Chains A and B, each alone.
Chain A
Amino acid sequence: MGTVAAALDYDAQLMIRVKSGDDASFALLLEKHRVPVIHFLYRMVQNGAVAEELAQEVFLRVYRSRGTYEPTAKFTTWLFRIATHLALNSLRDGKNERTEARLDGESGEASSLQVSDARPSVEQVMVRQSRLDEVREAIAGLPEKQRAAVLMHKYEEMDYAQIAKVLNCSESAVKSLLFRAYETLRARLAHMA
């Protein structure tokens, strides 16, 4: 049944094609999942360069594992399991010690948030920066597994079951992780309403 369910997963079908030597299918998988994986890793380690390096490793491992790939689970579960594994290792190794001090310096997000006909004042920019720093610090302050669970729940819109499979724990454990994480975040960020 697990295999049947996974067979409906288009990504798994692409991966099967990669297994049979179709590199174009790997390019499709990369195109589809590149940004979510890098963004997830960025929010985990809070360093753009480290996040891209880890994402390279994620896709390299996916490609290297093509020969032994079996579609017994959803492809994204497998993908984010690799990404989470590498992110947690990186955090434990302290490879991302040079956490970026500013969030918008390299991201171009400032331009996306600006109103086209009214440039924000210096005060507005500083307030916005301060709020983003608070968010980043609040997330960074969470225990690793809680952080991963929140990021998958909030930004990747994964349900409890899928997060549980990625983190290799039960759904009730995920609910508990998320509840505790959001409790912490509410205490730190609720004033930003």
Chain B
Amino acid sequence: MKCPSENKEEADLLALSAGKLEPARAAATEEHLKACSACSRFVEQQRAVWHALDGWEAPAVTPDFDRRLFQRIEENAGRRNWFGAFRTALLRHGLPVAAAACLIVAAGVVSQRSPDSAGPRQPQGTQVENLQPEQVEHAVDDLQMLSDFSGAARADADEL
């Protein structure tokens, strides 16, 4: 057989080290190793790496992982239900809802700017919509990931 090291075909050597090379090819490669010090050293060192990686175990999963996940799913669903109801209302009664929203915003602006309005002025921060940066980041990430994945999936379909 051709020497994998000399022919830049170390994939076979990696597979052999991992015990994943199909038997006939593995036998031929093992035979080659007896006469090739470069490949033999490669496999010996790669097996050492493999063995070292085997020793790295990950920690156990915390017992309440599922409970926390389902709680987040429920919270997420709750927010979406609220948003869905708002969207439905907006679609069905678009004009009145929009008018009401405008009135509320206008009232807020007027009361904010009125010099003789009673009470202390609210700090500017409280007027900011409660939009979490993480929500925006997640939404952008989702779009990017779905876009990437759709592209890859289309490419897969085209290939097959």
Contact = CB atoms under 8 A, between A and B. Distances in A.
Nearest to A167: B152
Contacts of B10: 179
Nearest to A93: B137
Contact of B60 (A89, A103, A108): A108
Contacts of A99: none
B37 interface: no
7 contacts: A5-B160, A52-B65, A56-B65, A61-B142, A63-B73, A155-B53, A190-B44
B146 A72 contact: no
Given A107-B57, A109-B59, A154 B50 contact: yes
B76 A64 contact: yes
A157 B57 CA distance: 15
Given A1-B160, A2-B159, 15 more contacts: A2-B160, A30-B69, A34-B65, A38-B61, A52-B65, A63-B73, A70-B153, A113-B55, A154-B53, A185-B53, A186-B48, A190-B44, A191-B48, A193-B44, A193-B48
B47 to A, nearest CB: 7
Contact of A190 (B49, B148, B149): B49
B56 A43 contact: yes
Contact of B55 (A63, A131, A182): A131
A82 interface: yes
Contacts, number: 138
A2 B153 contact: yes
Contacts of B69: 30, 56, 59-60
A42 B145 contact: no
Contacts of B152: 73, 81, 165, 168
B51 to A, nearest CB: 7
A178 B44 CA distance: 17
Interface in B29-87: 42, 44-53, 55-62, 65-66, 68-69, 72-73, 76
Interface in B1-49: 10-11, 14, 18, 42, 44-49
A126 interface: no
Contacts of B42: 186
A65 B45 contact: no
B120 to A, nearest CB: 38
Interface string A126-138: 0010011011100
A178 B14 contact: yes
A179 B69 CA distance: 37
Interface hub of B18, B76, B156 (most chain A Cβ within 10 A):
B156
